[in-house]
Amino acid sequence: FRVLQADEVNMALTESLAMTPAASVSGFYLAHPESTYFNVGKIGQDQLENWAEKTGLSQRDAERALSPNL
């Protein structure tokens, strides 16, 4: 954050390394001339159940989180 001089745009890190304000965005952006964007299609019930189990979410919460892909 020091290298980025984030304080000049009022961005900071909390003690737990969360960025503030909450709407702050930071990342590494990599490009390749042959890269393309793609949509994630619909997922099956088995994938939903697997993801819910791995994340520790209830089936209902997983469905809510992934509703655009169901």
Query: What are the structural domain ranges in the chain?
Result: 6-25+39-69
Helices (H), the chain: 45-55, 59-65
Tell me what pLDDT residue 62 has.
95
Residue ranges, the chain, pLDDT below 50: none
Q: Which helix (H) or strand (E) holds 12?
A: strand 12-13
Structure tokens, 68: 């655009």
Tell me what pLDDT residue 57 has.
96
Structure tokens, 22: 């909450």
Tell me what pLDDT residue 4 has.
81
Question: How far is the C-alpha of 1 from the C-alpha of 31, rounded, in Å?
Answer: 22
Provide the 10 A C-beta neighbour count for residue 62: 20
